[in-house]
Structure 1
C-alpha cells in the first residue's frame, strides 16, 4: 500500500492487509451509522471523517488499527484500558483480533460531533 495512494475510505480498506480489513470495515460502518452526515475521505493518507471540522479517523499499523478522535477523555481512556485496549493521547488501538468497543466509540463520536458544533 506504500506506493498506492487511495482516494476513498473503501479504497484504503481494500488496499490494506486482509487481517486488518474486518476491523476497518466495522469502524467505517460504526462511524457512518453514528454520524450519517459526516463526510468520509482521505486526508494525510488515512481515512478521515469530517462534520463541522474533523470528526474522527483511523489508520493502519503493523498489528492494529488506530482510531483517532480528539474527544478521548481520561475517563474514557481508563474504561478502554480496563477492557484491554491500548490508548494514546487521542487514539485507541484495536488489535486485529479484538472486538470493536462499539458503545464507547459511539459515545466518543457523538461527543466530538457536539464539540464540532460549538
Structure 2
C-alpha cells in the first residue's frame, strides 16, 4: 500500500486507498477504537488515521504485510505480555495481515489510553491554586 504520496483529509479517504481485503481490517480496527473511546475525535495526522481525546490517543496505518497500531509507549509497556506475539517497538505494534486482529486486546489498550489521557487534565486541575 503506497500511501506515501497521497494527502488524506479523512480516515474514510485513507481506508478507501487500501485494497478491499485491508479495508475490512481497517474498518474493524476503527470500529473497535470508536467503541472503546466514544468521545474521541477522528482526524488525519502524519498522513495516517488518528484518534484524539485530550491529546493524541492512538494512530493506525496499513502496510504491505502488517497493520501498524500506535498507542504510545506507556501502553506498549503496560500490555507487554499480551503483545509479546506481535512485533513491537517503543510506541508501535505490528499486526500481521492475514491474522485476525486481537480486537479485545486493542479495546483494552484504547481504554487504557483514554484513562491515561483524561488523567492529564485531572492532574492539572487538582493542582492547588497559585498564591498571589
TM-score if structure 1 supplies the norm length? 0.88
Contact 2:76–2:92 under 8 Å retained in 1: no
What is the deviation of 1:28? 0.4
**Structure 1 residue aligned with 2:50:** 48
**Superposition deviation, residue 75 in structure 1:** 4.9
Q: CA RMSD in A?
A: 1.5
> Quick check: which has more Rg, 1 or 2?
2
Structure 1 spans left out of the alignment, 5+ residues: none
Match of 2:126 in 1: none
Q: Comparing both chains, which one has the higher relative contact order based on Cα–Cα distances under 8 Å and sequence gaps of 6 or more? A: 1
Using the TM superposition, name which of 46-55 and 70-79 deviates more. 70-79
1:107 maps to 2:108? yes
Moved over 6 A (4+): none
Q: What TM-score, normalized by structure 2, do the two folds share?
A: 0.80
- What stretches of structure 2 of length at least 5 have no aligned partner? 121-132
2:127 corresponding residue in structure 1: none
Instruction: Measure the CA separation in 2 of the matches of 1:60 and 1:73.
Output: 19
